[in-house]
Structure 1
């Protein structure tokens, strides 16, 4: 299956929302649609490239000022609309974000507040009973991922070399640690939280599922159905198991995280 797109996020948003009602009026870098999956309402949200972005630092799919506040708006809008409903709609964040937007204007105008607003809106939606699912189809980097997707009840990712989840890019991490990129990669291979590949990340217990997609920009009908089914399963599991994030702490590589939490609870 093919569709005109400039990013993995835009491609998968288009596939998953074909024929759905597209929300209009927000900035062009945020795509929003209200659709159905197996008879239940879902709001899909994606951050996509916008070459004409008012802020050039956010033109390639980065999450900047406009994106942060708009994400907060469209998530909060769904929460307000469903406040009196017994069953809240699911919210699916289609994630392909290379970075937060770095720039003097972004810093001066408070990008930290914009991204915090987005993360806070997703957290409030989750705690209000909306199943929040993150579908990682490309990069999920730095503050962009914190703002768009990391607050999800369940994270699903493609098992693909183009999927990368990390606090910062390799070049930046190499500069900060005073290493070459090659030396950083060698070190990261022995320390899962530092690694850039999706297999190491999955060992941290943060992912609900890894999906094998042959070509993420040329999905087959069977692969699209696999993704849909996985999202539906994640929604159902979230509804049955509650709004918390304790499901992320069960992996062997999260033992220390669990221990720290236990000791903090004991102290407090």
Structure 2
């Protein structure tokens, strides 16, 4: 059971104050990056979660609404302020919480609420950073972190990004996991590792650390510095949407396709 999200949350916000009023699987800490007020949010494991499908760090019904609440709070608090609180999503989510109860009770709305809250904060001028410290899978990633102005990932084999887990992807494609891994070696979008994901041009930075599971003092300092750099970069960018992701060297073709479609429409 992964606890990378909780580990890095504590490491980066050691001098912060835990916000109250959230479920055990959503940790919210108010701290700072330099002089910038910052709210850190992580979805973590909770073996006592009322929904059994959300006990291993998945983003479920309750998690989606609580993440949305954590973000909406700072948006409301800073509505009349020029200096907006930064939001850092510490990401280690294996998926959304699959289950009949979740589907019946509207997990699509809960996760959409979380994604919308991140997008609303970004469009309101809050700098939003997604820090991938472990798994960033499926709807869990879409709800928690993908809407960030800047995406940063640890350069570590434990960091993985994909639309679905390997076992599920193998079933859908009628392959074994071993066959899927061979296919992923030649087709980057099918791969899970962060190195291949970085070739898609969606990451702002990929950062090497000595120990991603138990970060050292130097590791924490390095990530704090990259977070500070991201805030500076966001402040220099007039765009509050996600169009910046199209301007990397690796996404020139995507940008050209969009431009041609815009002309056609």
* Structure 1 and Structure 2 fold alike (TM over 0.5): yes
Question: What corresponds to 1:28 in structure 2?
Answer: 24
Question: What corresponds to 1:265 in structure 2?
Answer: 262
- Whether 2:130 is the aligned partner of 1:126: answer no
* Equivalenced residues, count: 264
Question: What corresponds to 1:150 in structure 2?
Answer: 146
2: distance between equivalents of 1:232 and 1:53? Answer: 34
The superposition leaves residues 155-182 of structure 1 with CA deviations (integer Å, 9 ceiling, x where unpaired) of 1101111000000011111111111111
- Whether 2:103 is the aligned partner of 1:88: answer no
SS, match of residue 129 in structure 1: coil
User: Contact conserved, 1:203 with 1:251, CA < 8 A, in 2?
Assistant: no
Question: Which runs of no fewer than 5 residues in structure 2 stay unpaired?
Answer: none
User: Alignment partner for residue 237 of structure 2, among 219, 241, 245?
Assistant: 241
2: distance between equivalents of 1:239 and 1:17? Answer: 22
So what's the TM-score if we normalise by structure 1?
Answer: 0.95
Question: Which runs of no fewer than 5 residues in structure 1 stay unpaired?
Answer: none
Question: What corresponds to 2:228 in structure 1?
Answer: 232
User: Contact conserved, 1:76 with 1:125, CA < 8 A, in 2?
Assistant: yes
User: Contact conserved, 2:54 with 2:97, CA < 8 A, in 1?
Assistant: yes
User: Contact conserved, 2:211 with 2:219, CA < 8 A, in 1?
Assistant: no
2: distance between equivalents of 1:168 and 1:257? Answer: 23
So what's the TM-score if we normalise by structure 2?
Answer: 0.96
Question: What corresponds to 2:167 in structure 1?
Answer: 171
Question: What corresponds to 2:102 in structure 1?
Answer: 106
